[in-house]
């Protein structure tokens, strides 16, 4: 399929390289990924051309801004990386777009930076690498608390989708993975951490207050579509009650989208489509953690009607981000 759009594709700057290396298996593999992260306009666009990708929305590597302990430094680094990305986009001949990196350690500063990135830099929204740390290395700050409500209202008012991307747990929360390092990051821990964060957002009644807010999850939903029925079923039986106006599945079908990033599986794609609807699923690769050829060749040959392939590969993203790529 030609004309595909992808939206979980990552870049890095030297200041943010350190955190990503810990998730890669070998030093040889990391060396190649590091080179690709730092290169935004050469091999990246060549691979897009080779595999029918028209437009790629770029985002900062994980954990990026979210692991910076000093709030002032987080704010300054976010602004600097966003300005760098804007400069690269301007030189890409219309092939690249951007998601803002945000200093979520300071909700007010994050709202201001998102507003700047959307209004002045032309970014399509934000991608945040999970929870943030602040001052203390083992701190974990989720975004369902009341101090983030004004931030979310800003996101909603801007009409800017928010991509919740995974990150590895901090050391104090690594006990369940002790002795099993192979499951603590991308193989399992990423999805466990990100799905928990997403369900916390729903359970805080955020989407009752911000009904137009749109959140994106990668990797075909971080396991959530597979569990939607049981989540609703068991919550209905909780003696302590549930604070939201609707079942969790309602918000997942109305406020969430998922991408195929790094999850090139026919059965999982079919589950996401069945659970959320075709209109809530979008193609992505997860470059450079995954190979463009693997993602594109799988998607171009996955069993589905061509109208559905066009919707997932291009039309849904074009509509969500109001893209004019003619």
6 within 8 A of 54, measured Cβ to Cβ? no
Confidence of residue 27 (pLDDT cuts 50, 70, 90): low
Closest to 6 (Cα-Cα) out of 324, 262, 301, 308: 262
Residue position matching structure tokens 């910076």: 68
Residues in the chain, how many? Answer: 326
| pLDDT, tens digit, 9 for 90 and up, residues 112-132 | 999 999 999 999 999 999 999
What was the pLDDT predicted at 179? Answer: 94
Q: Which one of the listed residues 286, 294, 300, 324 is annotated catalytic?
A: 286
Torsion of CA 158, 160, 166, 168, to 10 degrees: -30
What was the pLDDT predicted at 25? Answer: 53
- How many alpha carbons lie under 13 Å from residue 112 in its C-beta half-sphere? 10
Going by DSSP bridges, is the β-strand pair 162-164/215-217 parallel, antiparallel, or unpaired?
A: parallel
Question: Would you state the structure tokens that stand for residue 255, as one six-digit string?
Answer: 């406020």
| pLDDT, tens digit, 9 for 90 and up, residues 50-61 | 999 999 999 999
Which class is domain 4-320? alpha beta
Q: Is 144 annotated as catalytic?
A: no
Range 274-278, long-range pairs (CB < 8 A, 24+ positions):
274/225, 275/221, 275/225, 275/226, 275/228, 275/249, 276/221, 276/225, 276/252, 277/253, 278/308, 278/311, 278/312, 278/316
What was the pLDDT predicted at 24? Answer: 60
Q: How far apart are CA 117 and CA 121, in angstroms?
A: 5
**pTM exceeding the 0.85 threshold for the entire prediction:** yes
């Amino acid at each position: 399929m030609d004309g595909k759009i992808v939206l979980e594709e990552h870049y890095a700057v030297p200041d943010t390289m350190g955190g990503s290396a810990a998730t890669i298996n070998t030093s040889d593999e990391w060396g190649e990924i590091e080179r690709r992260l730092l290169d935004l306009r050469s091999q990246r666009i060549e691979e897009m051309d080779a595999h029918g990708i028209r437009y790629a929305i770029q985002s900062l590597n994980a954990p990026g801004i979210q692991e910076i302990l000093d709030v002032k430094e987080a704010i300054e680094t976010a602004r600097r990386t966003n300005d760098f990305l804007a400069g690269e986009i301007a030189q890409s001949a219309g092939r690249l777009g951007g998601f803002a990196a945000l200093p979520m350690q300071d909700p007010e500063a994050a709202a201001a930076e998102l507003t700047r990135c959307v209004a002045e830099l032309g970014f399509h929204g934000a991608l945040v690498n999970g929870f943030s740390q602040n001052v203390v290395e083992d701190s974990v700050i989720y975004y369902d608390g009341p101090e983030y409500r004004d931030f979310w209202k800003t996101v909603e008012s801007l009409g800017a989708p928010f991509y919740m991307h995974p990150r590895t747990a901090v050391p104090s929360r690594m006990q369940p993975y002790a002795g099993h390092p192979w499951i603590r990051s991308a193989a399992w821990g990423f999805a466990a951490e990100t799905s928990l964060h997403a369900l916390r957002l729903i359970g805080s009644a955020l989407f009752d207050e911000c009904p137009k807010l749109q959140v994106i999850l990668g990797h075909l939903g971080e396991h959530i579509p597979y569990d939607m029925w049981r989540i609703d079923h068991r919550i209905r039986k909780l003696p302590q009650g549930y604070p939201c106006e609707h079942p969790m599945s309602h918000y997942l079908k109305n406020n969430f989208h998922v991408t195929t990033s790094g999850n090139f599986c026919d059965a999982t794609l079919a589950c996401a489509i069945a659970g959320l609807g075709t209109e809530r699923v979008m193609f992505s690769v997860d470059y450079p953690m995954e190979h463009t050829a693997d993602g594109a060749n799988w998607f171009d040959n996955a069993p589905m009607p061509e109208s559905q392939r066009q919707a997932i590969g291009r039309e849904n993203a074009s509509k969500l981000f109001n893209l004019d790529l003619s």
